[in-house]
Structure 1
């Protein structure tokens, strides 16, 4: 199944849970390399530490895209990632439904991945390459900003990566008790949390 079809299925699943109502523009939003490098250099977590801090890295970078760089149509995407067909996390759509029903999001943060989807099915992920590098699945030169993040069409990614969206939007984090409403509003507010500025 194509990335866009999986994204649409994730959006439908999200609506059925009574969470966000998200649709993705079909016209591709190609980000300029200078913008991507600028977003990358604003990150506060060193490349080597990103593998163990994927949630914080990609949540913070999503905030930077939406609030500081005003990139339209950026959508927080939650799910799983496979390398050459092998899933890296235990997450399935049923896991997310249970996290919402049982309010167990916080204790399950390490069981799924999050990234940004842009219109047209482009993926931006600032954590996965650190993880692949750490596991010996990719060689990354961390001194080159453009090598520290993944950006490309969801169906045309390097390193054998395929992304599998299961939910979209931000409401999952509150509904699953991963974050409370006040924390989410603070993290996504117009004023930058100090760690992201």
Structure 2
């Protein structure tokens, strides 16, 4: 872990701690131990816990949307139908392992409900997912894509939260098709 820049190691440690033991477990000593950095480097890079939590959430979503955008780009010119795209999304969801770092954003979204200082970051995260989804829906020729994208993001996030809570994978493909295919 010590080869990555200090700031990145701190943020990775924060996500790991949150995903493992929750936000209440985030202490500077625990972060320093996990990230293999000095205590002082934490406050040097992040003056407050809100700054730390915000940047951890935004960093995760930036990396995640980049990963998903790259995946979408691989299929941009493949001539996928809406059904094909829904099936591909289902496969991506099923293959996603919920390690500590992937559980952490859900904790942070809930924390944003309690901490108004985190709400702008949560809003920015959902806006990034909405934009990515809108781009994909428009490429697929889905009518009224701008109105559907936020609902589709919320549906997938909700199904993922349900998966986390219950351990069962829901039929994401069917949910997508119910939302985007006109009846």
- What's the TM-score, normalizing by structure 2? 0.27
- What's the TM-score, normalizing by structure 1? 0.26
Q: Which has the higher strand share?
A: 1
Q: Which has the higher helix share?
A: 2
